[in-house]
Homo-oligomer: A and B are copies of this chain.
């Protein structure tokens, strides 16, 4: 794997969107540096670089809510990653499944934005009987 094609920014970071591979829910966005990217590939779980603490961070190492990596893709510009994972638990430090749990008005979403999938699931269940 040639990681040299990836464009890290002036701080040596690349944004990584984390998506649930089973539900397709977007869980969080965090930043990887080259070392955390290599550790992610090595271990099969997500590692990021904390901009506030300026250190590597293995998601779920403390909480147990690790994210098993299913796939890693890059965008057309090669400056953003999409990491699809199977999470062992909530991805947000607040205990929410996803970090995106509020609208722009600050209101907590009453239901996850996965209406279509849940609707589809209900059809599957209904049609079984």
Q: Which residues of A contact B (CB under 8 A)?
A: 1-3, 5-6, 15, 17, 19, 21-26, 28-29, 41, 71-77, 80-82, 84, 92-94, 96, 99-106, 109, 113-114, 116-117, 120-121, 123-124, 127-128
Contact A1:B105 (CB < 8 A) given known A71-B113, A100-B73:
yes
Q: Tell whether, in the assembled complex, residue B99 and residue A84 are in contact, meaning their CB atoms are under 8 Å apart.
A: no
Q: Tell whether, in the assembled complex, residue A76 and residue B99 are in contact, meaning their CB atoms are under 8 Å apart.
A: yes
Nearest Cβ in chain B — how far from A75, in angstroms?
4
Our pick among B3, B24, B93 for the contact of A104 (Cβ within 8 Å) is B3
Our pick among B2, B99, B127 for the contact of A124 (Cβ within 8 Å) is B127
